[in-house]
Amino acid sequence: MRRRKTVPEIRAASGREPLVMLTAYDAPTARWGEAAGADMLLVGDSLAMVVLGHETTLDVTLDEMIHHARAVVRASATPLVVGDLPFGSYQVSVEATVAAGVRYLREAGVQAVKLEGAWPDRVRALVRAGIPVMGHLGLTPQSVHAMGGYRVQARTEAAVRELLGDAVRLEAAGCFALVLEGVPSEVAAAVTDRLGVPTIGIGAGPACDGQVLVVHDLLGISPPPRPRFVRPYALLGQAAADALRRWAADVRARRVPTAEQGYRLPAAAGRALTGAGTHPPIREVAP
């Protein structure tokens, strides 16, 4: 029977075959992730940038995230679906965080939520409410202004200690997995060694228990430049633009649609319509 991966299965994957997580934002990306056998689909707040055209992830709302997450859940059957809590949905209070988590599970049908940063009190409250939580440390894009840009994090001894401490506190608070983004590979390896729950890396080197990428980067849909850690496995953005250019040229040259691509009236109706009437005669309908 085809069924979704569960949170306990993901939690137990630490140290086993690497976990595969892909972002998904709609039915096509969800189907592609499912076809790739992804263990998890993340409805990332990167939605704001790669789909909605915003400059940062700060602009996407919980309503928009839920709208997209519903499509991902609808179009997938086997991966665990994780919904990113967007900026503003958990920073204000523990109560607001739980309310956002409840909406996500109830309205979108995701199985877990993710939040950025060291918020063990939010994690504890969500877990107590029965809402599984994935953590996210290192380069946390919702803090782009505080970080002064999208910069690799944890590069000093003090920052490494802080990251390790935060990771341990998030695990103790109940996170079932932890995304590590934009940190030196040695730091990700140290966190992975220290934790019992799996780490999922993005720009964090090969030692993590799993990897995640933004599907638009991986498929070459996002315009360059691409981060160093992304090897595009296709160049779909270019292929799509080329295809659409060829179609536009064919339309302008009247090469499409061809007669074969049209629909035909039954012969009797066609004869009646090609005769004279109050309206101009309709020309022979293409086959």
- Tell me which residues in 201-240 interact with ligand KIV (CB under 6 A): 202, 212, 214
Which among 234, 241, 240 is positioned nearest to 217, based on CA atoms?
234
Give residue 265's region: left, alpha or beta (phi > 0; psi -120 to 50): beta
Catalytic: 186?
Answer: no
Q: CA 155 to CA 138: how far, in whole Å?
A: 10
Q: Contacting ligand KIV (CB under 6 A), which of 26, 34, 39, 84? A: 84
Q: Which stretch binds ligand KIV (CB under 6 A): 42-50, 159-167, 168-176, 279-287?
A: 42-50
Identity of the residue numbered 198: P
Q: CA 263 to CA 189: how far, in whole Å?
A: 62
Q: Report the Cα–Cα distance between both ends of the chain, in Å, rounded.
A: 45
Position 82 contacts ligand KIV (CB under 6 A): no
Binding mask 91-130 for ligand KIV (x = CB under 6 A): ----------------------------------------
Instruction: List 83's β-bridge partners, or say none.
Output: 43, 113
Q: Contacting ligand KIV (CB under 6 A), which of 44, 83, 198, 201? A: 44
Residues 141/150, Cβ–Cβ less than 8 Å: yes
Position 26 contacts ligand KIV (CB under 6 A): no
The catalytic residue among 116, 181, 260, 284 is 181
Residues that bind ligand KIV (CB under 6 A): 23, 42, 44-46, 84, 136, 179, 181, 202, 212, 214
Q: Which residues are identified as catalytic? A: 181
